[in-house]
Amino acid sequence: MTLATAESDAPFHLYRPHQGTTTDRNVSRVWLRLEPDVEVALLYHSGVIAFVGPFQFGDPGSFFEAQQADGANGRANVCG
């Protein structure tokens, strides 16, 4: 399967890394699972594997704000 096919067949946007050895040019294999849960796996030549799926916790902003309020050590930034 190609990255383009996974992008068109997945029912969500495929956000993916674009840094160093994890760019679209370095994808070696693509896996798309449609059932029972939709998931895309991207294997890069560097050995990095990225799993992409729909966000499962409602509104992402609210989820990360709640994590911070609970004392999670992290930071959320709005991109775009």
Extract the runs of DSSP E, i.e. beta strands, from the chain: 27-33, 39-44, 49-52
| Torsion on CA atoms 32, 33, 38, 44, rounded to nearest 10 | -40
8, amino acid identity: S
**Domain, as residue range, for 61:** 3-69
What total of structural domains would you count in the chain? Answer: 1
Note the pLDDT tens digit of each residue in 24-61: 999 999 999 988 888 999 999 999 999 888 766 666 66
- At 5, which amino acid appears? T
Domain contains 65: yes
Question: What is the distance between the alpha carbons of residues 59 and 20, in angstroms, rounded to a whole number?
Answer: 30
Does residue 78 belong to any structural domain of this protein? no
Q: Is residue 31 part of a domain?
A: yes
Q: pTM of the entire structure?
A: 0.67
Specify if 28 maps to a domain: yes
Structural domain includes residue 9: yes
